[in-house]
Amino acid sequence: MPLIRLDKYISQRSQLTRSQIKALCGRGKITVDGAVVKSSDTKIDPERSVVVADGSRILARSERYILLNKPEGYVSSTDDGDGPSVLELVPEELRTKDLFPAGRLDKDSLGALLITNDGELAHNILSPKRHVSKIYIVKLDRPFQNKYIDIFKNGVELRSGEVCLPVKVKMVENCEKLAFIELSEGKYHQVRRMFAAVDNHVSALMRVSVGGLILPEKLGFGQCMELLHKDVENLEKPLDFDAFCREFSGVFSAILINK
């Protein structure tokens, strides 16, 4: 395992910032394997070192969490079947052998996809029982109709006969062919099939949040960012759908309108 800087190790696993860590080091408040470390750029072994900062043990974790802004044309599986795998977009320095996409986006779909090696977290965010909701913005062939709100709230029946859990949907203000939709289950092609059930057609779809984690505007299609362990805690926090739509409709509709 390559050595990493002490301040990087601690800041990724706690709320402490690098400057706070430097200050704690200066005051002799950080120990590694029992010895006081005065310099925050000291290299440590992230898997073996026992790090204590201001009296608290900073536990080593080997889980990795990567947020990808998925572009079209990539498949959300670990092997190339029907196209290149999203894993090919993970930069070399972030790759480990055990990474997999936590959840699926269709080959044509865009947006937030979590790639991790943490099976437990993946299970938690995918299980409908945990109610980790995902928000999508969709581009429709025909104008949004207000009746969709109640139909989706009551659990729309797909053409296959399957009934969906209640979901929230909202037209993007002044864009009658764009809508936000929030759901916490993940049936195959669910969003596309829900709109098909009300005789509309989704021509573009982008996932813009997973739980409390919002796709950052600065992350371009095909780009990845490593999430800090403290960011991962946000995944299981709920978002307020209406507030989200108000705040982010400008940003995400500008991206989707040209697709």
Interface ranges with ligand URA (CB under 6 A): 105-106, 109, 189-192, 205
Task: Between 205 and 232, name the residue whose CB sits nearer to ligand URA.
Answer: 205
Which one, of 116, 176, 114, 109, lies nearest residue 148 by Cα? 176
The question of whether 106 is a catalytic residue gets the answer: yes
Task: Between 18 and 107, name the residue whose CB sits nearer to ligand URA.
Answer: 107
Task: Between 89 and 105, name the residue whose CB sits nearer to ligand URA.
Answer: 105
Contacts of 254 by beta carbon, 8 Å cutoff, 6+ apart: none
Of 79, 80, 82, 106, which is the active-site residue? 106
Kindly state the smallest distance separating residue 190's Cβ from ligand URA, in Å. 4
Cα separation, 189 vs 193, whole angstroms? 6
Task: Between 58 and 110, name the residue whose CB sits nearer to ligand URA.
Answer: 110
CB neighbours of residue 4 within 10 Å: 14
Kindly state the smallest distance separating residue 167's Cβ from ligand URA, in Å. 11
Kindly state the smallest distance separating residue 258's Cβ from ligand URA, in Å. 19
- Report DSSP letters for 1-32, one per residue: ---EEHHHHHHHHSS--HHHHHHHHHTT-EEE
Contacts of 39 by beta carbon, 8 Å cutoff, 6+ apart: 6, 25
Is the CB of residue 40 less than 8 Å from the CB of residue 18? yes
Kindly state the smallest distance separating residue 32's Cβ from ligand URA, in Å. 44
Catalytic residues: 106
